[in-house]
Amino acid sequence: MTTAAATDLTTGTWNLDAAHSEVSFVVRHAGISRVRGNFTDFDATLTVGDSLADSAVEATIQVASVSTKDANRDAHLKGEDFFDAENFPVMSFRSLRAEGGDEFTLIGEMTIKGVTKEVELEAEFGGQTVDPFGMTRAGFSATTTISRKEFGITWNAALEAGGMLVSDKVKIEIDAAFVLPAAE
C-alpha cells in the first residue's frame, strides 16, 4: 500500500465513496447515557489544489436519512422539534480553510435548519492508495462538537431530578473515503 502526506495528495476533483464513508453523531440522553445515530444519504466533493490552502471540500446530508435504530425517535428527529426535514431537507458543509498537515483543523461553514455557523473539525488524513481495481483512493476522518441550540434546534424536556432530556452538545464524527476519477 502506498500512502502520501495530505499535502502530497493527488490534485484534482475527488468524489465521495459513500459505501466506505459514514456520518454519525452522539448526544447525551437524560444526562446518563449516549444515543448514537447516523445519516445514510450524503455526498461530498473534495477538490485538491497544489497545497492544503488551495483545497476545499463541500458536503451535503439528506436530513430525512437520519437513523438512530428507533423509528419513533427518528420520526421525532425529522419533525419540526428537531431537523424539520420537510422545510429544511439538506444540511451542508463548505470548507473555508485548513490549517496543519496530516492532522489538521478544517474550518468551514455548516448549515443546519437554515442556520449557517462557522465550525472547526479536527481532521486526520488516513492516506492515499491505489486499490486492486486501479482506483486511486484517499481517506479522512474528522470530529467536531456543536451546540444544537446555535442551529435553532432547541426542543427539550426537563427531568424530574433536574437537568434536561437531550444535551445541547452534539459530537459529529465523519469517516470519508474519496475516489479520484480515472483520467480518460
DSSP 158: B
The verdict on residue 25 lying in a domain is: yes
Which of 45, 67, 60 has the alpha carbon at shortest distance from 178?
A: 45
Within 10 A of 16 (CB to CB), how many other CB atoms are there? 19
DSSP state of 183: P
Cell of residue 160, nine digits: 424530574
CATH number of the CATH domain containing 69: 2.40.128.110
- Count of all residues that appear for the chain in the document: 184
Q: Report if residue 1 sits inside a domain.
A: no
Cell 448549515 locates to: 111
Expressed as residue numbers, the domain containing 161 is 13-177
Per-residue confidence (pLDDT) for residue 182, from 0 to 100: 78
User: Is 104 inside any structural domain?
Assistant: yes
Give the tens place of pLDDT for each residue, 70-125.
999 999 999 999 999 999 999 999 999 998 877 899 999 999 999 999 999 999 99
Rg over CA atoms, the chain: 18
Please tell me the total count of domains within the chain. Answer: 1
- What residues contact residue 26 under an 8 Å CB cut-off, 6+ apart? 34, 35, 36, 170, 171, 173
Those residues with Cβ within 8 angstroms of residue 75's Cβ, 6 or more apart along the chain or in another chain: none
Segment 151-184, tens digit of pLDDT: 999 998 888 888 888 999 999 999 999 999 876 5
